Amino acid sequence: MATFDTKNITKIHQALHSHLPSDSALRVKALESLLVEKGLVNSETIDAWVEAYSEEIGPKRGAKIIAKAWLDPSYKQRLLEDATAAITEFDYHGHATAHLKAVENTSSVHNLVVCTLCSCYPFSILGVAPNWYKTAAYRSRAVREPRSVLLEFGVTLDDKVKVQVWDSTAELRYLVIPQRPQDTEGWNEEQLAALVTRNSMIGTDRDLNSNRGEA
């Protein structure tokens, strides 16, 4: 006769549900299906916009800003003084970057960005926010134990390096200027931009590999 193991059934139930999309994702998908069904939008247009934000609008936009800052000290100074104004030189602006502050990594300082309340993020220059950025675990642990979080991303810091955590809000968002890799003298803006990762502009990536951007 078959037996009913309550604990085992509970584990199976939890495992199955762990692979389901979040409630918000399901609601978005349901809304998308309804709009497509009624002929108000088409799925190809939605896919194109998602691809544009994830691949073109950002983080490539942010990478261009960083590359210019690495090449042009006067631009980097403008970016540090008033990032919102500085990015308009690229015609990059929008609600998500209306109040933007740039912070710079150095040999003695590492910056990490989080949004403890929700997931405020400068998507107009960094693209779609990564899923981990929106999780409760990252939002709480990045503040309490930033070095441990960074280690999980593969970022090992010397004890002498100070970690500064910046909490984004709807009114103020942050952009990390990573350190320019060594051995990149003479590189052009396009080569340098190829080195910049989305995570480095959030602060969960630090040592950029100069080999990736070589022509």
At 199, which CATH number? 3.90.330.10
Q: Does residue 113 sit in the same domain as residue 199?
A: yes
Residue 211, CA distances (Å) to 16, 181, 182, 183 in order: 42, 10, 10, 9
- 63 domain residue, yes or no: yes
Q: Which of 42-46, 72-76, 130-134 has the highest mean pLDDT?
A: 72-76
- 42 domain residue, yes or no: yes
**DSSP secondary structure string, 20-67?**
SPPHHHHHHHHHHHHHHHTTSS-HHHHHHHHHIIIIIISSHHHHHHHH
- 67 domain residue, yes or no: yes
Poorest-pLDDT segment among 7-16, 31-40, 56-65, 163-172? 7-16
Q: Does residue 91 sit in the same domain as residue 48?
A: no
Strand partners, 177: 104
- Say how many domains are in the chain: 2
Q: Does residue 50 sit in the same domain as residue 65?
A: no
E-only strand ranges, the chain: 100-104, 109-114, 162-167, 173-177
Q: Does residue 36 sit in the same domain as residue 67?
A: no
Q: Does residue 98 sit in the same domain as residue 159?
A: yes
- 1 domain residue, yes or no: no
Per-residue pLDDT band for 27 (boundaries 50, 70, 90) equals: confident
- 6 domain residue, yes or no: no
Q: Is the confidence at residue 98, as pLDDT, over 80?
A: no
Q: Is the confidence at residue 21, as pLDDT, over 80?
A: no
Per-residue pLDDT band for 19 (boundaries 50, 70, 90) equals: low
> Residue length, the chain?
215
Q: Which residues have a Cβ under 8 Å from the Cβ of 175 and sit 6 or more positions away?
A: 62, 65, 83, 100, 101, 102, 103, 113, 122, 125, 126, 201
Q: Which residues are catalytic?
A: 115, 118-120
Nearest to 179, CA basis, from 76, 56, 83, 75: 76
- 189 domain residue, yes or no: yes
More confident residue, 126 or 40: 126
More confident residue, 187 or 43: 187
Cα gap 97→174, rounded to integer Å: 9
Last residue of a domain, one of 13, 39, 57: 57
What would you report as the CA-atom Rg of the chain, rounded to the nearest whole angstrom?
A: 21
Last residue of a domain, one of 9, 40, 57: 57
- 190 domain residue, yes or no: yes
Q: Does residue 99 sit in the same domain as residue 51?
A: no
- 169 domain residue, yes or no: yes
Range of the domain at 50: 22-57
Q: Does residue 48 sit in the same domain as residue 103?
A: no
Retrieve residue 181's tokens.
């890799």
Per-residue pLDDT band for 212 (boundaries 50, 70, 90) equals: low
> What is the structure's pLDDT at 214?
47
Q: Is the confidence at residue 86, as pLDDT, over 90?
A: yes
Residues 12-36, buried b or exposed e (16+ Cβ, 10 A)? eeeeeeeeeeeeeeeeeeeeeeeee
What's the pLDDT tens digit per position in 125-180?
Answer: 998 888 899 999 999 999 999 999 999 999 999 999 999 999 999 889 999 999 99
Tell me the mean pLDDT in the region 35-43: 77
